[in-house]
Structure 1
Amino acid sequence: CVGKEMLTSILVISIILGMAVVIHAGGTEKNGSVDYAETQDARDGCKYASHEPIYINGNDDFVVGQNGVVSGSGTEINPYIIQNWDINAGTAHGIYIENTDVYFIIRNCVIHDGRSNYNYGIYFYNVIYGKIDNVTSYNNYYGIKLFISSNNNITNCAFYNNYWYGILLDYSSNNQITNCEVYNNSWDCIELYDSSNNNQITNCAVYNNSYGIELYDSSNNNITNCEVYNNSWDGIELYDSSNNILRGNVLENNTYNFGVAGYEISQFYQDIDTSNTINGKLIYYIIEQSGLVFDGTMDIGYLGLVSCSNIKVENLTFTSNRNGVLLANTSYSTITNCTVYNNY
């Protein structure tokens, strides 16, 4: 009957041996590439003066000559500057700023060793108009956390050997993460969490973490030209999130390179084109199409079908992703003679 033929729920398809079974970068950009040489001196921590952890609560705490502030007036053309510090975060968050709406820049700093006392390298709470440039944060509990913070830029930074997150945006929107290198963090590398919307992650290198780039309940974000590789769990995962745009991302040798999950069909609506690749093969993320054929003549690294009908999938292999083949609200479609393995 028609009811049995239609696939109206969200399905993961596993096909083994031809039988189908339905089971329900810090640095600066040069010539298009990222050069991390500038952050190496910062990473070594050898050219900056030591400073105690910095805490700023409110605009009035930005005082030149105090709290690590070396110049500026807090305007867009003359922001406050915190720069050239080596900060041991063993006793407190390395740089903790809250409740501010003046313009400021943190640059050329190294923040380290807050890990054992659960301290973050940098923590913004209710902050707008901050910029972080050429900062290295390592061996902290989190590399950096933004909470209820917007319109901030994180640029040319390195976050590594942190216990939990390299970069966490929590309930934080309209921020930019650009040219950052995030690696060797014990758990998540970059996570946008709990309605962190309209953010941009661009030209970042994300590797050797447990998880690469994770979006959870966060929508309308852009992930562009990132290299995500050698992560022991996910490369990129979009969970309970919608209308995110992915362009030009390279995913390689992650245990589960890519996946989309959610509870509502709207959470499967994403803008993902074939400029994104998995181990050199293209990601096909198809929405509201019918009558298409995907077969062994095509180089497919991931296939997602959302609100589609009359699709044929045949003679293909799908491996090392969160989903084998993703069908969401897709009907009257067939999968034949395909092999799917090592998917979550």
Structure 2
Amino acid sequence: MKFKNNRLIKITCLVAIFLLFSVLNFSVAAYIERDYNFSQKEYIPRTSQSWVFNQLTISESGGGNGTWTWAVTQDWCRGSGTEIDPYIIENVTINASGIIGISGISIINSKVYFIIKNNNFHNSGSDSEDAGIKLLNTNNGIIQSNNFSFNQGNGIYLENSSNNRILENHIYDNQYHGIYINEYSEYILVSHNTIFDNSFDGIRVYRYSHNATLVSNMIYNNLNGIFVTSNCYDSFLKENSLINNTERGIGFSSQSHRSSIEDNYFEKNGISTSNPGLYAVGTNFLSISNNTFKNNYHGVSLRYVFDCEVYDNEFLDNYYNAIYLEFLSEDNNITNNFIINSIYGIYVYDRCENTIISQNAFIQNDYGIQIARYSHNNVIKLNYLLNNEIGFDVTFDSDATQFSYNTIKTSSQYGVDIGFDCDNTLLFQNYFIYNEIQVRNGQSSSQWNFTTLGNYWTNYSGYDADDNGIGDIPHPIISQANGIDYYPIFKNMPSIFIDEYTEHNWDWAAKQYWVNGTGTEEDPYIIQNKIIDKDWRAPAIEIRNSDKFFIISNCTLSTEGAIFPGIKLYNVKNGVIVNSTIYETKVGIDASNCSHLTITMNDINLHGTAISLSQSEYNMVSNNNLDHNAVGLFIYQSHENAFIENSILSTESCINEYQSHDNLFQDNLCDPIPLKLLYMTVIDQIFTTQIFNITFFIHNATYDGIDANSITILWNSTDMSTNVTSLGNGYYIISLNPIFVGPGESGIPIELTINTTGYEVLTYSSDIAVDPEAVTKEVETRPPTGAIPWSLSTILIVALFAVVGSVIYYSKKKF
């Protein structure tokens, strides 16, 4: 009987073991299947899973953890490596333990397509080539929406790697560079990243890394914001914000030629180190345009550069130089910049030749322009210099300067100051208007006219009997070295400048032949029947800080080169502008901080903007002809104004109103406005058993956030529009009731319809397929391949022992 008992026990145990392995095999298969059973028509992140590693190396040439073929067998990677189905690594956290020579993820010798997104990278090694992510000889990658912080090396490092994109990452507190694009890495796109508090450069582009595109990044509190150096050609930098970087906002050096820097914002760079917002040395053919430089130590500093262009930029309150051109720089062009409140507007220093400085505006600087130290053959023309201490200064053996077609107005010391050691300065067709001292001339070789045309002087005491526009007697230049303008320009009507805070106030203006009246409501000052033509490099009429009553009537106004307003009003009230014609100016009427103006029955055309109101209120704009302009009415931070019965036809934009309220628009005639395109980008998606949350961003073509008037959402044909929450500035979140599908089943349809003023209706539809098993797992670290959950294995082992124990117990009891 004992033999039979043992036999029964053995048979029972074998059966139990067979059942155990059957269950185990089924459970493992089911567990692995749950990991991948995630059907979808649109890519949805597996946000319910995450993995923690020390480091990972994918190398297509051997070594490391394995190749992409190996990687795709792991839970944290999916895809096939094609352009339409790239390999994807996501939801990984890597702490590389600070070991020298170790990066978080290294990808080597790879040419397939891949995406690395929604990961965290910390504590890489401290070698200069270590990083959170390191690409070596690797192309076709996208690094997106990751966090790179507190690495001992770089945030991201690329070497000999091309056609990669770095998008929407947060990169901060790394001990080297935020992003290091090194050695022969071409066609790299770096866009919409936030890069700050890195010990060296926010972005460094180095050694033969051509055609880098750096767009729309926020870069602050680094050593340099962006630094491009050592033969890196054709970089394109646009719409980046460079703020409070210790050395420079952007730097170029060592023959990094042919780059374009446009539409960037520079603020408070180089303050503690006396450095500029933008610096270039030994670099040629740069195009620097449409940037804003504000409160930097210097705005732009160019050293030993050739054939560079600086144009259409704003320089506001930079401490020392707005633009500094120095040391053997030649053939550079500085055009159409607005420069206010620096010590030097433009400073050309130390053997710089053949510079053209034209069509710039210099306002309230210590020096508008200075040419110094053996800098010869430079041309300064068509500039507007207003309220500087010294408008133009040439000094220190700088010869053969041509100064022509400029307007120099109300300088507090000298309009022009010519050093005694500067030979052959040629000045003609300039307009010297009410400067404290028009000219200080230290060199007798200065020439004050060219052939038969000299300059205009508001202190000219001669006459023009034959009415040929040239004064009949010469104008003497009385200074250290006397001179003579033999052909002074004689005009009956110069541009008009009135400022109640200066000596050129209404009391002064009332003594001029072109003003009548006393400035009261009953007897306003009147400027009428005047023609001010485009020979003037200034606003035709400029009135500032006035509360007197005045009328501008029946005047015809234009300005030189369409770069100044026809009428400029600042801090003005109680004015009437009526029955006047204003043409070919930058802005027809430009009113800032003004109230109680009446602008009526004027003909204003062929401008950038016909009428501009900024921070103004209680004004009436009516019955004007504002046809054939780029913008008819531009209204910014202006309230309770009335715009009635204006004709605004054949314009690119009829009425642009920003940050304004309670304005009345009535019976204005505009062209139909074409609707603009609206876009939607999904930012984040979270799926749990309780809720589906989808965050999305509504924006225009330039990624400006757009708040919608209405959003309609159908989720599985049910209206869920009330489940949309606005996060502000175009960001929204949808909260949906979960609907799950099984493997191979069709996804659940979601449809969005978005309406907003001025844009075409945007419709978006997709199917979302979420396997319930994929969202119920809570995996903090990646389990070993083939492992099963501890809870399941424990239950099975306990069950096995229970079965065997029961058999033994009952067999003993029976026999």
Does the TM-score normalized on the shorter chain lie above 0.5? yes
- Alpha-carbon separation, structure 2, partners of 1:235 and 1:122: 25
The gaps in structure 1 that reach 5 residues or longer are 1-45, 290-295, 339-344
2:268 equivalent in structure 1: 253
The answer on 1:157 being equivalent to 2:164 is no
| Secondary structure of residue in 1 paired with 2:145 | strand
- Alpha-carbon separation, structure 2, partners of 1:315 and 1:132: 41
1:56 equivalent in structure 2: 58
CA drift of 1:189 comes to 1.2
1:142 to 127, 147, 154: 154
1:213 to 216, 226, 232: 226
2:677 equivalent in structure 1: none
Alignment coverage as a number of residue pairs: 282
Structure 1 residues 140-149 or 277-286, which shifts more? 277-286
1:307 equivalent in structure 2: 331
Structure 1 residues 193-202 or 83-92, which shifts more? 83-92
CA drift of 1:269 comes to 1.4
Distance 1:328 1:115, change over 3 A: farther
2:77 equivalent in structure 1: 70
2:214 equivalent in structure 1: 201
Higher strand share: 1
2:245 equivalent in structure 1: 231
Q: Is the 8 A contact 1:169 1:191 kept in 2?
A: yes
- Between the aligned residues of both structures, percent identity stands at 26
Kindly report which structure 2 residues correspond to 1:71-150, keeping only aligned pairs within 5 A, or say none: 71-90=78-97, 91=99, 92-114=102-124, 119-140=130-151, 141-150=153-162
Distance 1:324 1:73, change over 3 A: farther
2:514 equivalent in structure 1: none
2:181 equivalent in structure 1: 169
Q: Is the 8 A contact 2:103 2:133 kept in 1?
A: yes
The amino acid across from 1:137 in the alignment is F
CA drift of 1:187 comes to 1.1
CA drift of 1:116 comes to 5.3
The amino acid across from 1:152 in the alignment is N
- Alpha-carbon separation, structure 1, partners of 2:394 and 2:113: 59
- Alpha-carbon separation, structure 2, partners of 1:318 and 1:269: 27
CA drift of 1:54 comes to 1.2
Distance 1:77 1:298, change over 3 A: same
Q: Is the 8 A contact 2:221 2:244 kept in 1?
A: yes
- Alpha-carbon separation, structure 1, partners of 2:301 and 2:199: 30
Kindly provide the CA deviation profile for residues 197-248 of structure 1, in whole angstroms up to 9, marking residues without a partner as x: 1010000011011111001021101000000011111111111211001111
- Alpha-carbon separation, structure 1, partners of 2:261 and 2:180: 19
- Alpha-carbon separation, structure 1, partners of 2:347 and 2:88: 49
| Secondary structure of residue in 2 paired with 1:143 | strand
CA drift of 1:117 comes to 7.1
Kindly report which structure 2 residues correspond to 1:325-344, keeping only aligned pairs within 5 A, or say none: 325=348, 329-330=353-354, 331-333=376-378, 336=393
CA drift of 1:100 comes to 0.6
Distance 1:155 1:319, change over 3 A: farther
Kindly provide the CA deviation profile for residues 56-77 of structure 1, in whole angstroms up to 9, marking residues without a partner as x: 1117701345567521111000
Higher-RCO chain (CA-CA 8 Å, sequence separation at least 6): 1
The amino acid across from 2:121 in the alignment is I
Q: Is the 8 A contact 1:318 1:325 kept in 2?
A: no
The amino acid across from 1:177 in the alignment is V
TM (norm. structure 1) is 0.71
Q: Is the 8 A contact 1:115 1:162 kept in 2?
A: no
| Secondary structure of residue in 2 paired with 1:196 | coil
- Alpha-carbon separation, structure 1, partners of 2:258 and 2:114: 31
- Alpha-carbon separation, structure 2, partners of 1:315 and 1:180: 31
Q: Is the 8 A contact 2:177 2:204 kept in 1?
A: yes
| Secondary structure of residue in 1 paired with 2:109 | strand
1:271 to 287, 294, 311: 287
Kindly provide the CA deviation profile for residues 139-184 of structure 1, in whole angstroms up to 9, marking residues without a partner as x: 1111111000000000000111000111010121101000001100
Q: Is the 8 A contact 2:278 2:301 kept in 1?
A: no
The amino acid across from 2:124 in the alignment is G
CA drift of 1:111 comes to 0.3
CA drift of 1:50 comes to 1.4
Kindly provide the CA deviation profile for residues 183-202 of structure 1, in whole angstroms up to 9, marking residues without a partner as x: 00011110100011101000
Q: Is the 8 A contact 1:97 1:124 kept in 2?
A: yes
Q: Is the 8 A contact 2:233 2:258 kept in 1?
A: yes
Q: Is the 8 A contact 2:203 2:226 kept in 1?
A: yes
CA drift of 1:48 comes to 3.9
The amino acid across from 1:102 in the alignment is V
The gaps in structure 2 that reach 5 residues or longer are 1-47, 309-314, 355-375, 381-391, 396-815
Q: Is the 8 A contact 1:56 1:98 kept in 2?
A: yes
Structure 1 residues 87-96 or 214-223, which shifts more? 87-96
| Secondary structure of residue in 2 paired with 1:268 | coil
Distance 1:283 1:276, change over 3 A: farther
The amino acid across from 2:323 in the alignment is Y
Distance 1:166 1:319, change over 3 A: farther
Q: Is the 8 A contact 1:216 1:239 kept in 2?
A: yes
- Alpha-carbon separation, structure 2, partners of 1:205 and 1:135: 15
Q: Is the 8 A contact 2:284 2:307 kept in 1?
A: no
